[in-house]
Amino acid sequence: MDEPEVYLEAEFLKSSSKLSECPKPSLPEYAFVGRSNVGKSSLINMLTGRKDLAKTSGKPGKTQLINHFSIAVPGKDSQPIWYLVDLPGYGYAKVSKTIKATFQKLIHPYLERRESLSCVFVLLDSRHTPQEIDIDFMSWLGQHGIPFVMVFTKTDKLKPGALQKNIEKYNEKMLEYWEILPEQFFTSSTSGVGRIELLDFIEATNTAYYEGA
């Protein structure tokens, strides 16, 4: 893999065990969430051009806090202009029911009440057909009016035909509940596919955020 051009300054800010501990909601923020082992940490590292910003682990379910990272663009006084938020994964079978319940109590208040939340990036493993837990989570976001996009990960692991079939199955399932499909992105942390598209989306959303501020 060619190293992606690094033009973001990304720094870990803090971890929070509840909404009230999160940083002051002074910047637009983008939350990354998905089933454990979906490739979230690798995607965050690819997106920011940092190999070890988010800690990857062979043990799914490791992230158990709300992790905020400040993002700046070199050449613009290097002042943070948005927050990247790494949320705990959901739906990993080997995580106890008690921990799952704790995740839910942590994630839901943040998603429902965080006023500076601009968009949730729901990560979906492109190698699999639609998973009920993912569909349920996106339905919950829709019911609560929380903006989100679908981000398919690990697209390099499938041949184009197989990838297309899985995407079509996702779209068919989503259209059972949605009149219009949420915006979709296709990514690979290995090849860097989707990086520019995601950053362009964030930049456009940030522009609308600051113009409306």
- Whether 64 is covered by a domain: the verdict is yes
Q: What is the pLDDT of residue 53?
A: 81
The chain-wide mean pLDDT, for the chain, equals: 87
CATH of the domain at 175: 3.40.50.300
Q: What is the pLDDT of residue 48?
A: 92
**Which domain, by its residues, includes 194?**
9-212
DSSP 15: E
- Whether 2 is covered by a domain: the verdict is no
In the numeric block, the tokens 């089933």 are attached to: 35
pLDDT tens sequence across 10-38: 999 999 999 999 999 999 999 999 987 89
Q: What is the pLDDT of residue 100?
A: 64
Cα of 191 vs its chain's centroid, Å: 18
- Whether 206 is covered by a domain: the verdict is yes
- Whether 61 is covered by a domain: the verdict is yes
Q: Specify the number of domains making up the chain.
A: 1
Under a CB-based contact definition with an 8 Å cutoff, are residues 1 and 192 in contact? yes
Class of residue 15 by CB neighbours under 10 A (exposed 0-12, middle 13-18, buried 19+): middle
Q: Is the pLDDT of residue 98 over 70?
A: no
What lies within 8 Å, CB to CB, of 83 at 6+ separation is 13, 23, 27, 28, 29, 30, 68, 69, 70, 71, 116
pLDDT tier at 93, thresholds 50, 70, 90? very low
Q: Is the pLDDT of residue 2 over 70?
A: no
pLDDT tens sequence across 126-184: 999 999 989 999 999 999 999 999 999 999 999 999 999 999 999 999 999 899 999 99
Q: Is 110 or 7 the better-scoring residue by pLDDT?
A: 110
List strand residue ranges (DSSP E) for 52-97, in order.
Answer: 66-72, 80-86
Percent of the chain with pLDDT over 90: 70
